[in-house]
């Protein structure tokens, strides 16, 4: 399960979910499947119900079109196709005890903000792009989930290809 949270300096119109900390191959919370990947690890086929624990940095997602606060699956597509989000950074939370919903969200906002400039090529404040994230819930934490997964998107609509280094 994934808790959804949005940092909103620049509102992302299509954003409805936040990304989850992944790192496990297969989720105890979902019957969704891992995406089909090529030898380089890139997604090669659209999957309407990708297990969120199978999403990696570099993967592209469609807006799930839901207002849920916890998600177990998300639609993924090859990044060469129009998409709403791209996973751009992942980082594990330190410690053995769950820091609480507010604690993981605070850490995620800082982690994703800190990684934004290096990925995009300009600061968050100067950019027209925005970010969101998946974070662990208490249930996924108990199952070993520690990952913050940062997602980037364009509030103006879908993009094709990666947003790495676009400096906009």
| Chain segment 102-125, per-residue pLDDT in tens | 999 999 999 999 999 999 999 999
Give pLDDT, residue 66: 53
The full 3-state SS of 36-73, as one line of letters, equals CECCCCCECCCEEEEEHHHCCCCCEECCCCCCCCECCE
Give pLDDT, residue 63: 86
- Sequence-distant (≥ 6) Cβ neighbours of residue 31 within 8 angstroms: none
User: Model confidence at 28, in pLDDT bands (50, 70, 90)?
Assistant: low
Instruction: Name the range with the highest mean pLDDT among 20-24, 64-68, 146-150.
Output: 146-150
Mean pLDDT for the stretch of residues 62-82: 83
Both structure tokens of 78: 């090859």
CA-wise closest residue to 2 among 149, 128, 125: 149
Give pLDDT, residue 3: 42
How far apart (Å, rounded) are the C-alpha atoms in residues 146 and 33?
A: 20
Stronger pLDDT, 26 or 10, i.e. the higher one? 26
User: Model confidence at 93, in pLDDT bands (50, 70, 90)?
Assistant: very high
User: Model confidence at 25, in pLDDT bands (50, 70, 90)?
Assistant: very low
User: Model confidence at 64, in pLDDT bands (50, 70, 90)?
Assistant: low
Helix residue spans in 45-163 (DSSP H) = 100-120, 138-142
How far apart (Å, rounded) are the C-alpha atoms in residues 49 and 106?
A: 28
DSSP H or E segment with residue 136: strand 130-136
How far apart (Å, rounded) are the C-alpha atoms in residues 163 and 4?
A: 22
Percentage of the chain modeled with pLDDT above 90 = 74
How far apart (Å, rounded) are the C-alpha atoms in residues 109 and 22?
A: 16
């Amino acid at each position: 399960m994934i808790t959804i949270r949005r940092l909103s300096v620049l509102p992302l119109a299509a954003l409805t979910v936040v990304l989850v900390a992944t790192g496990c191959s297969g989720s105890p919370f979902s019957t969704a499947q891992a995406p089909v990947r090529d030898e380089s690890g890139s997604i090669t086929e659209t999957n309407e119900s990708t297990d969120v624990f199978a999403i990696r940095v570099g993967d592209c997602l469609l807006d799930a079109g839901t207002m849920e606060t916890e998600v177990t699956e998300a639609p993924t597509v090859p990044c060469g196709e129009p998409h709403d989000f791209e996973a751009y950074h992942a980082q594990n939370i330190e410690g053995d005890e769950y820091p609480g919903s507010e604690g993981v969200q605070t850490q995620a906002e800082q982690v994703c903000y800190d990684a934004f400039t290096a990925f995009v090529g300009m600061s968050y404040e100067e950019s027209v792009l925005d970010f969101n994230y998946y974070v662990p819930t208490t249930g996924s934490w108990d199952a070993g989930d520690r990952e913050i997964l940062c997602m980037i998107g364009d509030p103006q609509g879908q993009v094709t290809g990666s947003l790495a280094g676009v400096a906009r």
